[in-house]
Structure formats: structure tokens, C-alpha cells
Amino acid sequence: MKLNDIEERGLVLLGCGKMGSAMLAGWLAGGLSPSAVWVIDPKPSDWLQGRGVHLNEEVPASPAVVLVAVKPQMMDDALPQAADFGGGKTLFVSIAAGTSLARFERALGPQTPIVRAMPNTPAAVGRGITATIGNGVAGEADLALAERLLGAVGQTVRLESEDQMDAITAVSGSGPAYVFHLIETLAAAGAAEGLSPELALALARATVGGAGQLAEDAEEDPGQLRVNVTSPNGTTQAALEVLMDEEAGFPALLRRAVHAAAERSRELGRG
């Protein structure tokens, strides 16, 4: 399946919240015709209503792609609406957290090509990263098309097994919250050392954002970047001796945090 199949047969977007809107904006900016997109959303935003897409209208009989972007708790209502498209002619792409390929196959039929994806919130600014995995009948062309659609909001990576999705959720799915908390706590620590809260927050935001960009762009790995800015017996080394403590520092805390998130993801998947 190719991108021009979408122009000919249409793309149905089930749910258009922040993530769905970010993807739609990327598709339209990339040249996809609004007339090729059908959006089903019970509470469309003002932004969505001005995009020129088919909004809550009757959808095509055999769309090229159905992208499921509803919240997990709405899945029981959403899947029956899409059941008629199951069976093999339509590619399903899901960005719904905690919804397995097996659950989609039960609702849509085992011959339905399905790609499960886990994006993260920086997708809202085109800086996300999305992990993908297809079911047994999703071919290379299906995966490539899904990745091209998801690439509108950032990078994509392909998994070897659906079992990896819980770890992906814990690292990149939940990861932005860890970084936001780092900014909070770094700013609070700066204020405790005498900076105004406003100045401390501005410094923390810019420092984390800039360091993240440097880590993404640099050829060196993050460990080497850390070494590059750590002078022997200097201020950075003094701080890192605290942060890198194996029992009370970042290594232990993040292992526990990521494991807790992965375990919770597994529990939700079983539910």
C-alpha cells in the first residue's frame, strides 16, 4: 500500500485529540489533501473544524487506512464502529496505549493488517519518537506506510516483538514526564540556592532543552558528552558524585521508575 492509495481511497482518523491533531497537521503540511481525510470525533476542536477535512461525515466503504487515536477507555465504543473495515483491504494503525494487537484482531478479524504504535507527547511539536510493531499479516508496505504517516510528528523505530512495547512505554512514552520533573526539581534547587523562582525556571528549561538537542545532534554518546563538561575536582564533578551514586542517585532511581512504569503497562495490558 502506498501514500497515493490514501488520496484515492481515503484515511479515517478515529479520535482527534492532541496527538491526532498533531499528526493531521503534519499530514496536511506534507501535502495530503484534506478531502482525503475523514475524522470521527464527538467533540471536535475549533482548529479541527477549520481544516477542510470530512468531519463526522459518512466514511468511505473501503478506506486505505484507519488510524485509531482514541483514549484506551473509549476503545470499546470505537472498535465496533470500525469492524466493517476489517478483513484485509484496510490497514489499521493504532496509537492507543495499552491496546494489544490481539485485541484488535479479535474485533476486526485475524486477516486484518494492524500496526500498533506508541508515540510520545513531543509529537505535538514535531519532535516525538514512535515505536511500531505489526501483526502477522501486516507486510513491509503496510509498516512503511504506517511509519511514513507517524513520521509526520517525529522519528520512528521498529520493534522486534510486541513484548517490547511495555518497556517502550516506560522509557519514551512516560519519559517526557520524567524530564519535566527534572526541570521542576532543578529549578527548585536553583531557587534554594538564592535565585528567583522565575530565573531558576528559565535556566532549568533552557538547560534541559539545549542539552537534549546537543545529545541528539552530537556524534558522541551521552556518556562522553558528560565527560566533556566535567572538569576534575570541579563543580560538575561535585554534583555528579551525588547524582551518580549507585544506591541513591539517578541510576537506582531511574531503574526503579522505568521498571514501575513497565510493570504498570503490563498490568493495564492484561486488563
16 appears as a binding residue in the annotation: yes
19 appears as a binding residue in the annotation: yes
70 appears as a binding residue in the annotation: yes
Please give the Cα distance from 116 to 164 (Å, whole number).
12
b/e per residue 225-246 (b: at least 16 CB within 10 A)? eeeeeeeeeeeeeeebeeeeee
Q: Is 134 exposed, middle or buried (0-12, 13-18, 19+ CB in 10 A)?
A: buried
17 appears as a binding residue in the annotation: yes
Residue 10, all three cell numbers: 481515503
72 appears as a binding residue in the annotation: yes
Angle at 107 between CA 85 and CA 15, to 5 degrees: 65
14 appears as a binding residue in the annotation: yes
15 appears as a binding residue in the annotation: yes
69 appears as a binding residue in the annotation: yes
Please give the Cα distance from 260 to 167 (Å, whole number).
10
Name the one residue in this structure whose C-alpha cell is 560538575.
Answer: 236
Q: Give the number of other Cβ atoms within 10 Å of residue 148's Cβ.
A: 15
18 appears as a binding residue in the annotation: yes
Say which residues have a Cβ less than 8 Å from residue 99's Cβ, sequence separation at least 6: 68, 72, 75, 116
Which residues are part of a known binding site for NADPH? 56
Which residues are part of a known binding site? 14-19, 56, 69-72
Which residues are part of a known binding site for NADP(+)? 14-19, 69-72
